[in-house]
Each structure stands twice: as C-alpha cells, then as structure tokens.
Amino acid sequence: MAEPRNASILIFDSGIGGLSVLKEMRIILPSMRYIYVADDAAFPYGAWEEQELLERMTKLFAALIERHNPGMIVIGCNTASTLAIHHLRKVYPDQIFVGTVPAIKPAAERTHSGLVSVLATPGTVRRQYTRDLIKQYASKCHVRLVGSENLAQLAETYMRTGFVDEAAVKTEAELCFVEQDGKRTDIVVLACTHYPFLVNRLRKTAPWPVDWIDTCEAIARRAVSLASDLTFKPRDAALPDIALFTSNQVSKEIQRLVVGFGLIGTAYP
C-alpha cells in the first residue's frame, strides 16, 4: 500500500488568481492544510514565451516539492496548466497534479445560440491545448478566442487596492460579444483564474447579459475525487495555512489580502 501523503494542498498561480480556486477548495476540502504560491516575480504569465516559462516552472516546482512535499498540487492558473501540466506530471511522477483548463466543454453543452467566447490571457489563447479543447468539445459552436493583455493586472490591482477601472474592464472584454445571423454570444468562459474577481464589473459593463463560466468549482470537485482515492496523514495542527510570493515582497496590502483568505504571508520557498 502507498505511504500516506501529507495532508496539504499546494495551490499555484502567477499571482492572486488562484485564490479564487482556494476559496472553492476550502469549502469542499476543509480539513487540508493550504500552501498558496504566487509566482508574482514573473507575473504576468500570459506574456511569457512557452519554453522559458516551462523551464522556470519546472525549477520552481523542484524547490517547492523539496521544501513542502505537498499531498496534492493544484495549478490554479489556466496559462500555466495549458502549458506545463503534462510536462510536470512526467518530471514529478510521485506528485498528484490537478490542472485548470478553460471550461470549453461545459460552455459548448450549455450554449443556446452556439456563439461562445473564451476570455483568457494571450498565452492561453495561443496554446495548442486550448485549440484541441475546442476541436474536441466545441466543434459545433462558433468559438471566439479573446486574448486580454490587461485584465489579469486589473484584477490584481482590484484585489490589492480595491480600485477597479471599469472602462478598462469593458474594453478588455468587448471583443467577446458577437452578433451573427440574428444570434448573440450567450456564454463567456472566464479562462483565467484572476477574472472571477472582476465578474461583477464584467456583468455591469457587458452590452447584453451572458453566462460567465469559470472552472474554480470544477477544479475543487476534481481534487476531492482524486483525494478520495488517496490516504493522508493527519493534519499537523501546528502548521498554519501560508501564502508564498516568489518576489518575497509581502506588503501590508498583500498580508491583509491573504489573511482574508485564511493564510499567513511568509518567506518563499
């Protein structure tokens, strides 16, 4: 029988986006310890070249696995998962990885008009992984991929300072709204974990109502289903839930933000 694993889940993102995943995870897996890692020194991931980012992530994970040996790893980032999940599983076969990929399948199943948009970082829009999902699950739909340069940063600013530039949010999402042959886009997939934090502003500035779909809850459910096949040690009550930032800059704002999510900002790694 396999050795029991540490009762900890490491959630990884380029910034604060994975906190939207953490929120869901806590609801359905409350007994685990959470280690949140933001590679903020490299934010935004959406702008990186694939090879360089893959190398960076592979090195980061070597350090994180050695230091924390988590029971499970959730890549709470579409840009990172669509690039690196297969590779990381190969390089670290003893780890259990849960990825985050654009919710194209549920969108294709739910759309009435057949017009679906995927709002994501430029990196996720470029990925073959994303195009394969469309081919596999949404070949009967008209899928528009919209790469947003600034929305993840707008979400970072909002979460850190409370300020949101609504006009800029509107501009970033504008291309998602398509009218064609008397039909309109009825679903927009939020394919970046930063975006759910801006969903109210997206809703408010949209030219017509649509369904905004994200994957946070589905990821948490996937983690639960994997966890049910594993054995975990009892959680060590002395170890708190923590947040690590690769920049090692944990400002007052950041500390306040992560405390709101039940984490303590501490030194990386």
* Interacting residues with ligand DGL (CB under 6 A): 13-15, 17, 43-46, 77-79, 121, 124, 152, 192-194
- Which one is catalytic: 141, 176, 192, 216? 192
Sequence ranges of the binding site:
13-14, 45-46, 78-79, 193-194
Residue in 37, 127, 46 with CA at minimum distance from that of residue 74 = 37
Residue in 25, 36, 80 with CA at minimum distance from that of residue 258 = 36
Cβ distance to ligand DGL smaller for residue 150 or 266? 150
Residue in 208, 199, 212, 215 with CA at minimum distance from that of residue 164 = 199
Q: Minimum distance between the CB of residue 39 and ligand DGL, rounded to whole angstroms?
A: 8
Residue 198, Cα to own-chain centre: how many angstroms?
Answer: 14
How far apart, in whole angstroms, are the C-alpha atoms of residue 108 and residue 139? Answer: 9
E-strand spans in 24-76? 33-38, 72-75
Question: Looking at this protein, which amino acid is placed at residue 90?
Answer: K
Q: Minimum distance between the CB of residue 131 and ligand DGL, rounded to whole angstroms?
A: 16
Q: Is 176 a catalytic residue?
A: no
Q: Is 216 a catalytic residue?
A: no
Q: Minimum distance between the CB of residue 5 and ligand DGL, rounded to whole angstroms?
A: 26
Sequence ranges of the binding site for substrate:
13-14, 45-46, 78-79, 193-194
Q: The tokens of 248 are what?
A: 């090692």
Cβ distance to ligand DGL smaller for residue 149 or 236? 149
- Which one is catalytic: 77, 141, 176, 216? 77
The catalytic residues are 77, 192
